[in-house]
Amino acid sequence: MNRPRRLRTSLACLAAAGVLLPLTACSSSGGSATASGDAAHGTYTFWDPYPQYDSSSAWEKSVTACGTQAGVTLKRTGMDTGDVANKTLLAAQQGNSPDIVLVDNPVVSTLAQAGVLTTTADLGVKTDQIQQNIIDAGTVDGKSYGVPIGANTLALYYNADILQAAGVDPASIKDWASLTAALGKVKDAGKKGITFAGIKTEEGSFQFLPWFWGAQADLRKLDSPQAVGALSLWKDWLDKGYAPNSVINNTQTTSWQEFETGGFAFAENGTWQLANSAKETFKTGIITIPGQNGGSAPAPTGGEFVTVPVQKDTARYATSKKIVDCLISEQNLQATDTTLSYVAPVQSVQQQQVAQNPALQPWVTAVAAAKGRTSGGLNTDYPVVSEQLWTAVQSALSGAQSPKDALSAAQKAAAAKTGH
């Protein structure tokens, strides 16, 4: 298969899975990958999924400073997450790739398998300090194709006032049974239990995965007894009134808005809501999502990877490496991840973050237990599997099918499309 065809195929795959990435702002702008001057000077291009940050932002200033430090002008273009991925593939097909691209982690494997990205080994970028479970999201066949600038994931926020009134100690919640018992006490006290996002998009899969993985289910076996148990948990919560029917259409934003009303004991949401939780009129706290039989359930990692696309002029890689090294330096990681509400991918920087903000400790624990959605060899099959998973969740929560029947249908559809 020649490279242009591979790129067209990958582009179509990305377009079909445009809902993959729920954690980044939603506006877009164009950009040019054209660079000027020789490889050690001139202009280098940098694309990222942060259109919300303008030239006055700390992020823009950090990017610009890294270009200056490398001896070049770094031209940054922010655009929508899906646009970053699709335009990177198009630029590669046209032989006009940007020098550096910050891309959401599930897309790294698609770009890598399309032959668009260089490996960190080829560039000489060191990754030994990066937590293995975080960098796994950008690893294909044992080779890493980028470096994470940070990670976010999911946990359970709680309303301490509601739990106290219901006689629930959040520290007592260790597994599914104790969480369900707590929800029962909250309902008996006249309050609402838990809200989450079960919408029929990637956000629905993203929020369901901690429970799916917490039951030790496998994304290659969507119809396993473990998977059925996880979906049955959510369905039982709806049937018992522990979770509202609105979760069927909730995004992570609308779910959080429900929690902000002060009527819910728990909300499944991400690191990015930490600042908002501190502003609530009620006291909040955080616990990791429990596994079925205890411990912290593996939640999916969110966050972006710094990647370097393949260039015709390979002499440009030396300067690109300098820019990447600058962006992932400890000093920049701490500043960047604080700005973006990320947990750093390096333990030493995590310690600095927690020292600065102790409220991050549960998130550091959650990130340590997290796993990449495309890891375990799933790679470009993930969008197909995820779509079938969120379809099954919708079908079961709405009552259209039982959890077992919904997941059985999902497995058959996923296997037909992926060949696994």
What's the confidence (pLDDT) of residue 296? Answer: 93
What's the confidence (pLDDT) of residue 380? Answer: 87
The more confident residue out of 104 and 292 is 292
Task: Copy the structure tokens of residue 85.
Answer: 């991925």
Q: What pLDDT band is residue 376 in, cutting at 50, 70 and 90?
A: confident
CB within 8 Å of 76: residues ≥ 6 apart:
46, 47, 48, 60, 63, 64
Specify the pTM: 0.83
Mean pLDDT of 218-240: 98
What's the confidence (pLDDT) of residue 340? Answer: 82
What are the structural domains, with CATH classification, of the chain? 3-151+302-369 (3.40.190.10), 154-299+378-418 (3.40.190.10)
Q: Quick: pLDDT tens for 257-277.
A: 999 999 999 999 999 999 899
What's the confidence (pLDDT) of residue 19? Answer: 36
CB within 8 Å of 387: residues ≥ 6 apart:
17, 205
Q: Quick: pLDDT tens for 382-409.
A: 999 999 999 999 999 999 999 999 999 9
Residue 284, pLDDT > 60, answer yes
Mean pLDDT of 291-310: 95
Cβ 288 vs Cβ 362: under 8 Å? yes
What's the confidence (pLDDT) of residue 279? Answer: 93
Task: Copy the structure tokens of residue 377.
Answer: 């060899």
Mean pLDDT of 90-95: 94
What's the confidence (pLDDT) of residue 153? Answer: 94
What's the confidence (pLDDT) of residue 157? Answer: 97
What's the confidence (pLDDT) of residue 364? Answer: 93
Specify the residue for token string 């291009």.
Answer: 45
Cβ 161 vs Cβ 283: under 8 Å? yes
Q: How many CB atoms lie within 10 A of CB 313?
A: 10
What's the confidence (pLDDT) of residue 177? Answer: 98
> Which range has the worst mean pLDDT, 4-8, 80-84, 363-367, 406-410?
4-8
Residue 6, pLDDT > 50, answer no
Mean pLDDT of 135-145: 92
Residue 207, pLDDT > 90, answer yes
Residue 412, pLDDT > 60, answer yes
What's the confidence (pLDDT) of residue 377? Answer: 83
Rounded distance, CA 40 to CA 34, Å? 15
What's the confidence (pLDDT) of residue 352? Answer: 94
Rounded distance, CA 291 to CA 228, Å? 15
Specify the residue for token string 């955080």.
Answer: 286
Mean pLDDT of 161-179: 98
What's the confidence (pLDDT) of residue 13? Answer: 45
Rounded distance, CA 420 to CA 418, Å? 5
CB within 8 Å of 309: residues ≥ 6 apart:
88, 91, 92, 97, 98, 99, 100, 101, 111, 116, 117, 118
The CA-atom distances, in angstroms, between 133 and each of 306, 370, 371 are: 16, 7, 6
Q: Hey, is 100 helix, strand or coil?
A: strand
% of the chain at pLDDT higher than 70: 91
What's the confidence (pLDDT) of residue 25? Answer: 31
Q: What is the mean pLDDT of the chain?
A: 89
Mean pLDDT of 219-225: 97
Q: What pLDDT band is residue 420 in, cutting at 50, 70 and 90?
A: confident
Q: Quick: pLDDT tens for 40-84.
A: 789 999 999 999 899 999 999 999 999 999 999 999 999 988 889
